[in-house]
Structure 1
Amino acid sequence: MNNTALFRRGVVLPLNDQAEENLRCNHIDKSAEVRYLPIQSEELFNDLCSQGLFHEINRRCGSFITDKESELVEAALIPSLLVSVDFILQKGIVEEENVSNFLKDLRYLTTQAYDLNRPLIFVL
């Protein structure tokens, strides 16, 4: 099964080499050891876009996270990803609780990726 079929609209952290390789090859199954942070609704996705989250990540990480695409942020760029998330959180304009909660969860997942020296995959 491909990444978008299993993890539509979310961020995935592979927890071992096999899961990472399968995600890189876009061939994953439900038994893969991953942590998955779903973007629960189209409204939340649109709110994250309007807050500039994906633009900020793309700017700092040289990535191309966009709608209907998957993008892998390599382990070496996880510190820049963390700075991006913190930047959005610290702007102080996040009013919606669901957006704030997602950003805090993404920050936690990003620190886990850093600790494990693993990439994160954005499946949008």
Structure 2
Amino acid sequence: MELLAVIAGLEALKKENQTVLVYSDSKYVVDAVEKGWLRSWLRIDFKGKKNADLWKRFVGIYSKHNVRFKWIRGHAGHPENERCDQLAVAAACSASLLIDRGFEAGLAGGN
């Protein structure tokens, strides 16, 4: 979910070459970029990686901007992070959830 939130945020930018600092409580997403995991995954075309469809989508939009990540501890009183959690819970409880075709395909393929 955190990766999809980052993708949606970057896709919402109206112009390319924007400088963006993303705050996230997801060590996985932050470390993938900041520790260079993403570069290694690109070299193997994300083979064996979960959420390969999302990572490929992320790379497409990430490469159009100057993006840095900063990890923040979740549920630690960071106002924007708390608001994001509220929005995520509200969306998860909504009757109008969209189907994640990439996730479903991964389940069908045994990933």
TM range (shorter): 0.3 to 0.5
TM-score, length of structure 1 as denominator length: 0.30
Greater C-alpha Rg: 2
TM-score by length of 2: 0.33
